[in-house]
Amino acid sequence: MGAQASNGAVKALMPGKVIKVNVCEGDAVESGTILMVLEAMKMENEIHAPHAGRVKSLMVTPGSNVNGGDVLAVLE
């Protein structure tokens, strides 16, 4: 899964690079929807929505480098 969530914030579990973002702000998502793909240690990790909701904000774009614990997106 590659992410953790708290209070609607979807966070990276490890450092890496965002290589693809599959959603836009305002999109409705179901639990398990692939929000984005993060490359870490030469492996692609899918970041899934932890619950159904709407994408309130995206904090990253393709090419963004992230650290473990960084907020990737916020769901409401």
Global pTM value: 0.89
Does CATH place domain 3-75 in 3.30.420.40? no
Question: Among candidates 56, 34, 59, which has minimal Cα distance to 47?
Answer: 34
Q: Tens digit of pLDDT for each residue in 37-49? A: 999 999 999 999 9
pLDDT at 4: 63
In angstroms, what CA-CA distances link 60 with 13, 24, 64, 67?
15, 11, 6, 12
Q: Please state, in angstroms and rounded to a whole number, the distance separating the CA atoms of residues 42 and 46.
A: 13
Q: Tens digit of pLDDT for each residue in 1-47? A: 556 667 889 999 999 999 999 999 999 999 999 999 999 999 999 99
pLDDT at 72: 97
